[in-house]
Amino acid sequence: MSITINAHQLGRLIDQTASHMGGEYVEPLHGIRLDVDATHLYAVASDRYTLAASRYRLNHDDKGQEPFAVTLPADHIASVREWLRAMDGAAWVTLDVTDARLIFKQAQTELAIAVSLGLEFPNWRGLFRGIAEQAVEDAPFPALQSEYLSRWADTGHILRVRVSADLKAVLLFGEDFIGAMMPARYAGVGPVTDETFDSARSLWKDILAADGETADMVTDMPAEDPNAPRYEATKDVRETGESLLQEVLNSTRDVHDADYDDDRDLWFAHIRIGVANWMAYRYLDALHNADPRKAAEIVADVAEQLDSGEIGEWAWDTAEESGYTPQKWHDEHEAHVAKQMAEEPRKWAVRLARALNDAKDAGITFSVEANEHVAHDEKAEQWAAVKPEPATA
């Protein structure tokens, strides 16, 4: 009984469920249940007040095997998490259950943890099924414990919430995540006071009076000044995605204004900018869907690198560390530029010739002294950039 999962995804399953574990006096809940069926690995945890399950779709070769489940004891969660952090996120980890041991295997190391195979975990699938089938009462208004609400931040997801009744569990859905939360029954030493929406609203009648002026949080809140100067790269995922898409649209529009024949480098530059930004957007979107917290971490890290102005040095070092040859790339580029400088008109001369032609077409009278950079082609009646003369020995 074994499956494979990369270190990052396994760490993510643990992080999303660890805060929901039960205490040491309820042994079946004092840990994270790792549950494998024909298609997924699930990490499940509960302290009876909240219940959380995160899943990972199995690789093709791991699908279809006999289901198995084992509880990773809470006392070992920290050591497993540190073991995972010490390796590259893409590194493959094999989970194996042998002789009452849960074994995490990686290419260079392995971690073995004693487990109790007979430890029964609640029927978490049945619990979720029952909560999902709850009928919705009229105007439910449950009391929720704010301390427990903070646990859901560990998902790193936008969550959708279904409320069905005052005294029944709230159901939450995220990306490959499902959770449930019981309503609060006690406040301090006594029970929670029964309350309806109308009674709660009446306590704030001085500001919620029906005859007062209403406002909308979408349309009536101040917006960020789009013209305010910004001197730092954004660390916000959504703003980064917006900027990438904007650059794609700008560059694909500008390519139509660039002259392929007269300024081919500019034409290709627009193409490269559009392609690079579209690729970056798709990668960011995929990463954010897979792991919003990692996407936010990467965006913030990249923003700091951009602000430092040293991305060229980082790219060079990263290329070398990855086994590439940046010196070869540099030499090839320098040779290309030297060849271009020797055989083609200067780029500024090309743009000057285009400007002179535009001025002529606009009826502007001007004169240009004879020079080695631009010349008037009498036959074509156009200004053109002049190719450099071959260097003499």
- Boundaries of every domain in the chain: 2-181, 237-309, 347-385
- Confidence at 330, pLDDT banded by 50, 70, 90: very high
Task: State how far the alpha carbon of 252 is from the alpha carbons of 239, 263, 331, 353, in Å.
Answer: 20, 16, 30, 25
Place of tokens 């579209």: 278
Please write the tens of the pLDDT for every residue from 343-381.
788 888 888 988 999 999 999 999 999 998 999 988 888
| Of 293, 9, 45, residue with least CA distance to 154 | 293
| Of 119, 101, 117, residue with least CA distance to 27 | 119
* Exposed/middle/buried for residue 366 (C-beta within 10 Å: 0-12, 13-18, 19+): exposed
Tally Cβ neighbours within 10 Å of residue 310. 11
Angle of helix 292-308 relative to helix 264-290, nearest 10 degrees? 140
Measure the CA–CA gap between 70 and 102, rounded to whole angstroms.
8
Let me know: does 102 contact 34? Beta carbons within 8 Å.
yes
Task: Determine phi and psi for 30, rounding to 5 degrees.
Answer: -85, 70
Measure the CA–CA gap between 335 and 197, rounded to whole angstroms.
74
- Confidence at 292, pLDDT banded by 50, 70, 90: confident
| Of 33, 70, 37, 77, residue with least CA distance to 53 | 33
| Of 283, 287, 257, 291, residue with least CA distance to 271 | 257
Please say if the pLDDT value at position 333 is more than 60: yes
| Of 362, 352, 359, 336, residue with least CA distance to 385 | 352
Let me know: does 373 contact 349? Beta carbons within 8 Å.
yes
Measure the CA–CA gap between 194 and 284, rounded to whole angstroms.
46
Q: pLDDT value at position 168?
A: 94
- pLDDT, mean of residues 57-63: 87
User: E strands within 307-360?
Assistant: none
Measure the CA–CA gap between 293 and 287, rounded to whole angstroms.
9
CA atoms within 13 A on the CB side of 16: 31
CATH class for the region spanning 2-181: alpha beta
- Model-level pTM? 0.71
Q: pLDDT value at position 262?
A: 66
Measure the CA–CA gap between 318 and 207, rounded to whole angstroms.
58
- pLDDT, mean of residues 320-343: 89
DSSP-derived secondary structure letter, 59: P
| Of 125, 88, 115, residue with least CA distance to 11 | 88
**DSSP labels, 7-22:** HHHHHHHHHHHGGG--
Please write the tens of the pLDDT for every residue from 176-202.
999 999 999 877 667 777 888 888 888
Measure the CA–CA gap between 345 and 349, rounded to whole angstroms.
7
Let me know: does 172 contact 159? Beta carbons within 8 Å.
yes
